[in-house]
Amino acid sequence: MPERLRLVDLVNARLEQFLEERAAHLGTIADDLAVFTDSSRDLLSGGKRFRALFCYWGWHAVAGTVRAEDLLAELDEHPDLSSVVDAAAALELFHAAALVHDDIMDNSDTRRGMPAAHRRFEADHARREWVGSAATYGTSSALLLGDLLLGWSDELLDTGLARLDDPRSARAARAEFQTMRTEVMVGQYLDIREEVAWRDADEAELLPRAHRVVTYKSAKYSIEAPLALGGLMAGGSLEQVTALRAFGLPLGVAFQLRDDLLGVFGDPVVTGKPAGDDLREGKRTVIIALARAALPGGAVRLIDELLGDPQLSEHQIATLQATIRDSGAVETTERIIARSVAEAVAALEDAPLSRSARAELIGLSDLVTRRAH
């Protein structure tokens, strides 16, 4: 735990330093651009840094097999740790960009208990009584913020990779980041497509399609890719990186399924999102696919009629929640989560990774799948 907290502190400090540097640059262009770094700080202030942690422990899992176990204690001596901190911080910038774009596509009002980026820009337009559409200005400005964060994530990653001694490790890590970026983008597209095109699919295909969205929109980039990125930066062998992937992918699936449960049943005071937000947004998640497969026709029609209505009342939200619970989908999802975590942990047994990293990864597997927000 102390090492985990120290790593988070290092990443937070690097993010703040990076944003200060970018704020100084933007300030030479126009004072009005401070809103981009201010919004970025707000977005980055509430995260749990899971992606950063998995990146670090992926690196540790490989580097710790040839060096002292407590690598973070050797911060001033280890030549690559600052590069790993840069990569971990770059993942957090990438995640912030994804959140900005995701909130636009989902038409979300809040993020972590605060106005979503596009709503913040929209409110600024309305408060200043500028001409034109406040909503259009908000969306356009938030799109640019997300694009800027994407570019900044590349900049910070390249800064770290340039300091690695082994250029082959740097190239492999860069390729992993690029693959992750592509998979997230297409995974996001599959998600929004599923919300509108699900009627075209055979009933038997709805659950596999929902699993595909889970895999590419979230599971791979949340855990598998950060682990592989860290392991590749340490010069990991094929066997080592394969072991990290075998742990990361099923855990990433469990992580997203927990998030999906929270999207339907989470407490808004805890999650920072309205109750039943995924129901209003029409998310065709694994939980919905499981519920539809288990329910009689009348209940299925009820789900299909209400799901995706942005004006759902609290009573309608409660009705949908009760219908989903009655289907047994919640219990089935919990079993899938437990099975996926067990598969992930089993992948670490006898893996050629550092002992302390394996222990920490097992602890993180519990943390990311038992969370309340």
* Domain boundaries of the chain, sorted by first residue: 2-369
Query: How high does pLDDT run on average in the chain?
Result: 93
CB 95 within 8 A of CB 52: no
- Which pLDDT score is estimated for 74? 52
150-154 average pLDDT score: 98
| Residue 185 confidence class, pLDDT cut points 50, 70, 90 | very high
Residue 33 has pLDDT above 70, yes or no: yes
DSSP three-state, residue 129: coil
Q: What is the DSSP letter of 235?
A: T
CB 6 within 8 A of CB 72: yes
- Which pLDDT score is estimated for 5? 83
- Which pLDDT score is estimated for 70? 52
- Amino acid identity of residue 38, one-letter, is D
Greatest C-alpha distance within the chain: 66
Q: For residue 234, count other CB atoms closer than 10 A to its CB.
A: 26
Residue 54: both structure tokens together: 């998995």
Q: What are phi and psi of 335, to 5 degrees?
A: -65, -40
Q: For residue 16, count other CB atoms closer than 10 A to its CB.
A: 14
How far is Cα 194 from Cα 197, in angstroms, rounded to an integer?
5
CB 234 within 8 A of CB 312: no
Alpha helix positions (H), the chain:
2-27, 34-45, 50-63, 81-106, 117-128, 134-161, 167-197, 203-213, 225-233, 238-265, 268-271, 277-281, 286-294, 297-306, 314-327, 329-348, 355-369
DSSP three-state, residue 110: strand
The pLDDT tens digits for 50-103 are 999 999 999 999 998 766 555 555 544 677 899 999 999 999 999 999 999 999
The pLDDT tens digits for 265-299 are 988 877 777 778 899 999 999 999 999 999 999 99
Residue 321 has pLDDT above 50, yes or no: yes
Q: For residue 275, count other CB atoms closer than 10 A to its CB.
A: 18
Residues across the chain: 373
Architecture, CATH, for domain 2-369: Orthogonal Bundle (1.10)
Q: Which uninterrupted H or E stretch holds 115?
A: strand 114-115
How far is Cα 97 from Cα 76, in angstroms, rounded to an integer?
31
- Which pLDDT score is estimated for 101? 96
Q: What is the DSSP letter of 217?
A: I
Residue 19 has pLDDT above 50, yes or no: yes
Q: What is the pTM of this model?
A: 0.94
- Which pLDDT score is estimated for 189? 96
Residue 226 has pLDDT above 50, yes or no: yes
CB 72 within 8 A of CB 88: no
- Which pLDDT score is estimated for 228? 98
The pLDDT tens digits for 343-365 are 999 999 999 999 999 999 999 99
- Which pLDDT score is estimated for 157? 98
How far is Cα 148 from Cα 152, in angstroms, rounded to an integer?
6
Q: What is the DSSP letter of 111?
A: E
Contacts of 59 (CB under 8 A, 6+ apart): 80, 84, 230, 231, 233, 234
Residue 213 has pLDDT above 60, yes or no: yes
- Which pLDDT score is estimated for 68? 52
Q: For residue 354, count other CB atoms closer than 10 A to its CB.
A: 25
Residue 334 has pLDDT above 80, yes or no: yes
How far is Cα 373 from Cα 277, in angstroms, rounded to an integer?
13
